[in-house]
Structure 1
C-alpha cells in the first residue's frame, strides 16, 4: 500500500497567468513532496509540467502539456517518467 503527501504551489487565477494571445495561456507547474510505502522509508518526489492552453469556447479549453515525475528511491523501487498529453477541459 502506498501513501503520499505532496506540497505544491497553487496555480494563479487564469486572469493572472502568462498570456501569449487572446484566450491562450502557457506556464510551468512544479511540486515537491515525500512518498512513503508502508513499512519503508520516505522518498523525495519531484513533479514538473509545461503547458499551453487555448480556450475553444467559453466552457471548453484544450491543453497540450508535458509532465515529468521522479522519485529519489533506490533504482530497484524508484521511478522516472515523462508523459506528453492533450486534454479537453470543460467548465461547469
Structure 2
C-alpha cells in the first residue's frame, strides 16, 4: 500500500475522530501525553456508545440510526487503537532485537 492510499483511508477516519493530520511543530506535549489523550478520547467514545445502547433499550432514545453510528465510531476508534498498539509493540520488539 503506498502513501497516497493510506492518506485516502486515514483522512475520513481522522475527520470522524476530529484528528488534524500533520507534524506537531509547536513542541506541545510529548508522545506519552498525545497517546494518553487519544486513549481518553477512545474511552469516551466507548462510554458514549454504552450510553446510547442503554438509552435505546430503556426507551429514552428511539433513534436506532444514531445509536448505530455511535457504535460504529466507537468500534472503528477501538480497532485503530489496537492497530497502533500492535505497531508500537512490533517497533519495540524490533529495537530490542537490535544488537548493540
TM category (shorter chain) comes to: under 0.3
The answer to which structure, 1 or 2, has the higher relative contact order (CA under 8 A, 6+ apart) is 2
Report the structure number with the largest CA radius of gyration. Answer: 2
